[in-house]
Amino acid sequence: MGPVRFRPFRLATAALALLLAACGSGSTAQSGDLATPPAHDPTGMDYIALKKGPCFGACPVFDITLRGDGRVEFYGRRFTKVSGQKLDQQSTGRFLEALDILEERGFGALQGDYTGQTCTVMASDHPTITIEVNSGDWKKTVVWNTGCRGSDDIVTLERLVRDLDWTLDVDSYVGTDAEHAPTSGKGRKSF
């Protein structure tokens, strides 16, 4: 019998097969499981949008979008400190922080609609809040009329919106009640 010849190709192939088997065996995520956002590097195409609609009164009406590259697009429609469009820049870390909040608050497990059928009690004249996420494979929209009561998810929605408001720095655009209250002489109708 002659000397044993080293066969690097076979050794590399066997090592790769073992590595792939080890990586695949511990995975529990199912295809299409979007309750948790998949890990990826965010881009300018990824976004989290928060929209608050009108109510009977002086509720701030606006859209704010935070993109994966940190761009912020705010559009104040009514009762906001910033009227019209304002573009801003945050860090990519702010986007990742907002994704973490969505995950921690159970956004993936929420229903898509809290505007009628899911409510046991429905009060009229409340604003509707829409949260839309498009990040990698995580695409979801939740629409919540804040007059909707009786669902087990209402506390989750309230906390989620409060935390997103803080993370997206909504107050810097909407302002305080005094800054966005209807007054005469500033282009807003007085009541």
CATH of the domain at 170: 3.30.1560.10
**Domain carrying residue 121:** 47-176
pLDDT at position 129 is 98
User: What is the rounded distance in angstroms from the CA atom of residue 114 to the CA atom of residue 110?
Assistant: 9
Give the separation between CA 81 and CA 162, rounded to whole angstroms: 19
Structure confidence at residue 137 (pLDDT): 87
Q: Give me the pLDDT at residue 41, please.
A: 80
Question: Could you tell me if 102 and 94 are in contact, meaning their C-beta atoms sit under 8 angstroms apart?
Answer: no
Residue ranges with strand state E in the chain: 47-52, 61-67, 71-78, 84-89, 113-114, 121-122, 128-135, 138-145, 148-149
Give per-residue pLDDT as tens, 147-165: 998 888 999 999 999 999 9
pLDDT band at 119 (very low <50, low <70, confident <90, very high): confident
* pLDDT for residue 150: 86
| Residue 187 within a domain | no
Give the torsion sign (CA, 114, 86, 135, 169): negative
Q: For position 27, what pLDDT does the model report?
A: 37
The C-alpha atoms of residue 79 and residue 41 are separated, in whole angstroms, by 36
Q: Is residue 182 part of a domain?
A: no
d(CA 175, CA 104): 27
**36 in any annotated domain:** no
| The pLDDT of residue 30 is above 90 | no
**Main-chain phi, psi angles of 126, to 5 degrees:** -105, 155
Q: pLDDT class for 179, splitting at 50, 70, 90?
A: confident
Least confident of 10-14, 55-59, 124-128: 10-14
Average pLDDT along the chain: 81
Domain count, the chain: 1
pLDDT level of residue 178 (50, 70, 90 thresholds): confident
- At 70 the pLDDT is 95
- Evaluate whether residue 53 is within a structural domain: yes
Angle at 139 between CA 138 and CA 145, to 5 degrees: 125
- Please indicate, yes or no, if residue 29 is contained in any of the structural domains: no
Give pLDDT, residue 116.
Answer: 82
Q: Is 21 part of any domain? A: no
Q: Dmax over Cα atoms in the chain, in whole Å?
A: 102
Name which of 146, 117, 144 is nearest 130 in CA terms. Answer: 144
